[in-house]
Amino acid sequence: MPAIGTKDALTEFRENLRAAPKRILETAFRTGLPTTDRSRSTFVFGNVFLHLHSVRTHRWSLRWLTTAGLGIATLAAFLITLVTGVLLMFYYKPYPEVAYQSIKDIHFVVPTGRFIRNLHRWAANVMVVTVILHMARVFYTAAYRRPREYNWLIGIALLVVTLALSFTGYLLPWDQLAYWAITIGANIAQSPREVTDALGITEWFDPGGLQRLLLLGSDTVGEEALIRFYLLHVMLLPLVLAALLAVHFWRVRKDGGLARPDDADDILARERREETYPVFTEQPQKTYHLAAIVRGRTPAVGRGPENTVPSMPHLFYAEFGVLMLTVAVCLLLSLLWDAPLKELANPNVPENPAKAPWYFLGLQEMVSFSAFMGGIGVPTIVLIGLGLIPYLDREAEGTGRWFGGPGGWPLVRLSLLFGFAAALGVEAFAIRFGWLREWFPNIHQLAITVFNPGTVLTALYAAFSIWAMKRHNSTRAGALALFTCFLCGFTVLTVIGTYFRGPNWEFFWSPADWPGH
């Protein structure tokens, strides 16, 4: 048979086959194996997943104290819930009773099912904790300031979605814990009725009832609520979260990487340097004509490349280190403690006390004083307040520094003292002496809605923050005081709700003192 080309086609086929693995690698990396700083940089730049990072990272960002890795830890926890969640979906059946049986099956029979469910549960809790800590870190290092204001808003949205994800997941096991926690949650959603009832207009205008109906899909927690929560939990909310995450990360890069103080380079120079890296001396191959049309600041323009290191591998070590650490912590927790599963949900046997998930127990504590204020009023005020922080604090002092800004750590310390004292004081008063309803049984409900321990505490915090703002003549000082107080209040109310509230939401020093029921 005559040869068509210069080479025998069969030979060529054989050679191509032999070369295929090498070529797959080449085409995957395009720039060849990333072995030098430069090829690594092009690799990061050209990779769809990695290009969210800038090619080079400032050494300030790699210090453990800068972020404590909390953002990455939150992402890691989310990834764990994502993977374990998809695995759980293979066995979970969202229908009352059947759901409970399927969780039992996952626990007892599905290979590694118990472990994976534990992991899912623990990672979800870790995520709630780290997302709050991450927010605190960003706040205390004043990293929300210009040009990062919008990313702070995205962060608040992510906090809300995280809590919503955790809350919707709470119902799925369909046990007593889940059933009554969601019942409480749905009642909190219905709390605007307290005001409409007091005004006598519920009949015509009932946003509370509508909210609850939208949440549950029926009057009580039942199959409609379960399928609704399931859909939200496995589909809608994760998609929203993923979209917000993409924006959040993209903005981190577009807003100039992590915030750092102006004198970051000096501080780094003063610190002991373990090793030196060659600075970026060669003429960069990348041109800036693309970057030039991007509005605002871009990371590398107008700034020396000193004190930056290639993101690969230095940033990746840090990121994967935190990721693996989070995985390890979740694994350890899952090995030590099983995710809770109580008896099958029974609408006829209310749990007493019925408690919402732990991160809502602060709210539930306030709801016990006034449903509307605790469930809707104060949380709305808090969310709006948090969102406005970067737009009200337009100062520059202390950006990128822990407790930076006027007042600094002494003010935070004072705020901690005040925040705890005020929360404990108001709680102690309400627990010891009761509140308006006990003294004036016929008082109008609106009076309690406006004036209750929750609003009193909010007012005290606001007053303290205004005092701090005046004292230091700085909005940042006011924000420092208010945010610290908010954390204190959240902690105190959550701890009291979790550990010191028993049947009928009465105060008990220990569950051992609970009366029999």
Partner 1 sequence: MKKNKYLLLLSSLVTLVLLAAAAIEENFFREWRRIQRSARSDSGIAALQLRQIVNPSLKVADRCVSCHLGMAPGESLVRGADVLRPHKPVVHDPSEFGCTICHGGQGQATFKEDAHGQVEFWPEPMLPREMSWAGCGSCHVALGVPSQTTLRRAELAFERLDCYACHRVDSRGGTIRPDRGGMEGPDLSFTGLRGWDGAWHEKHAKKAASEGGAWRKSFSPVSEEDQRLLEVFLRTRVGASSLVRAKSVFLSAGCLGCHRVNGVGGDDGPELNAAGLKDPGRLIFAGVPGGRQVSAWMAEHLRSPVSVVAGSLMPPVLLPEEDIRQLTFFTMSLRARELPDRYLPRDRVRAVRFGEREFSTDGETLYGAFCAGCHGSDGMGRRLPGLISFPSVAHPDFLAIAPEELMQRTIEEGRPGRRMPGWLKPEGLRPEEIRTVVAHLRRLGGVAPEPDPRPRRWVSSDVELGRRLFESYCRGCHGPEGRGGEGPALNNKVLLAGATDTYLVETIRRGRRGTAMGGFAEPTPVRPALSQAEIEAIVSFLRSLEGGSS
SS3 225: helix
Shortest Å, Cβ 152 to partner 1: 26
Residues 338-357 within binding reach of partner 1 (CB under 8 A): 340-343, 349
Note whether 112 binds partner 1 by CB under 8 A: yes
Site map (CB under 8 A) of partner 1, residues 218-257, x = contact: ----------------------------------------
Cβ–Cβ contacts within 10 Å for residue 409, how many? 12
Pick from 5, 111, 278, 302 the residue near partner 1 by CB under 8 A.
111
Note whether 109 binds partner 1 by CB under 8 A: yes
Round to whole Å and give the CA distance between 21 and 24.
Answer: 5
Residues 64-93 within binding reach of partner 1 (CB under 8 A): 64
Cβ–Cβ contacts within 10 Å for residue 324, how many? 11
Q: Which of 204, 168, 158 is nearest to 189 (CA)?
A: 168
Burial group, residue 41, by CB count within 10 angstroms (0-12, 13-18, 19+): buried
Note whether 305 binds partner 1 by CB under 8 A: no
For the chain, the farthest-separated pair of C-alpha atoms sits apart, in whole angstroms, at 109
Identify the helix (H) or strand (E) that includes residue 358: none
Shortest Å, Cβ 342 to partner 1: 4
Note whether 62 binds partner 1 by CB under 8 A: yes
**Cβ closest to partner 1, residue 268 vs residue 383:** 268
Note whether 115 binds partner 1 by CB under 8 A: yes
Pick from 108, 204, 439, 509 the residue near partner 1 by CB under 8 A.
108
Pick from 19, 246, 328, 421 the residue near partner 1 by CB under 8 A.
328
Shortest Å, Cβ 188 to partner 1: 25
Shortest Å, Cβ 402 to partner 1: 19
Note whether 492 binds partner 1 by CB under 8 A: no
Round to whole Å and give the CA distance between 183 and 218.
Answer: 12
**Region binding partner 1 by CB under 8 A among candidate stretches 14-22, 147-155, 323-331, 495-503:** 323-331
**Region binding partner 1 by CB under 8 A among candidate stretches 109-117, 240-248, 290-298, 476-484:** 109-117
Rounded to the nearest angstrom, the gap between the alpha carbon of residue 383 and the centroid of all alpha carbons in its chain is 14
Pick from 53, 148, 248, 314 the residue near partner 1 by CB under 8 A.
314
Shortest Å, Cβ 114 to partner 1: 8
Q: Give the interface size with partner 1 as a residue count (CB under 8 A).
A: 37
Residues 259-278 within binding reach of partner 1 (CB under 8 A): 274-275
Identify the helix (H) or strand (E) that includes residue 512: none
**Region binding partner 1 by CB under 8 A among candidate stretches 182-190, 317-325, 455-463, 498-506:** 317-325
Round to whole Å and give the CA distance between 232 and 495.
Answer: 28
Amino acid in the structure at residue 207: P
Q: Which of 72, 128, 84, 147 is nearest to 110 (CA)?
A: 84
Pick from 320, 391, 409, 429 the residue near partner 1 by CB under 8 A.
320
SS3 92: coil
User: Tokens 């609520």 correspond to what residue?
Assistant: 225
**Residues of the chain by 3-state class (helix, strand, coil), percent to 5:** 65, 0, 30
Cβ–Cβ contacts within 10 Å for residue 511, how many? 12
Pick from 160, 247, 331, 495 the residue near partner 1 by CB under 8 A.
331
Note whether 321 binds partner 1 by CB under 8 A: yes
Note whether 44 binds partner 1 by CB under 8 A: no
**Region binding partner 1 by CB under 8 A among candidate stretches 139-147, 313-321, 384-392, 425-433:** 313-321
Q: In this structure, are residues 218 and 228 in contact, taking their beta carbons and an 8 Å threshold? A: no
Cα-flanking dihedrals φ and ψ of residue 501, to 5°?
-115, 130
Round to whole Å and give the CA distance between 282 and 503.
Answer: 71
Secondary structure (H, E, C), 385-436: HHHHHHHHCCCCCCCCCCCCCCCHHHHHHHHHHHHHHHHHHHHHHHHHHCCH
**Region binding partner 1 by CB under 8 A among candidate stretches 56-64, 184-192, 447-455, 462-470:** 56-64
Q: In this structure, are residues 299 and 52 in contact, taking their beta carbons and an 8 Å threshold? A: no
Contact residues: partner 1, CB under 8 A: 59, 62, 64, 101, 104-105, 108-109, 111-112, 115, 175-176, 274-275, 309, 314, 317-318, 320-322, 324-325, 327-328, 331-332, 334-335, 340-343, 349, 516-517
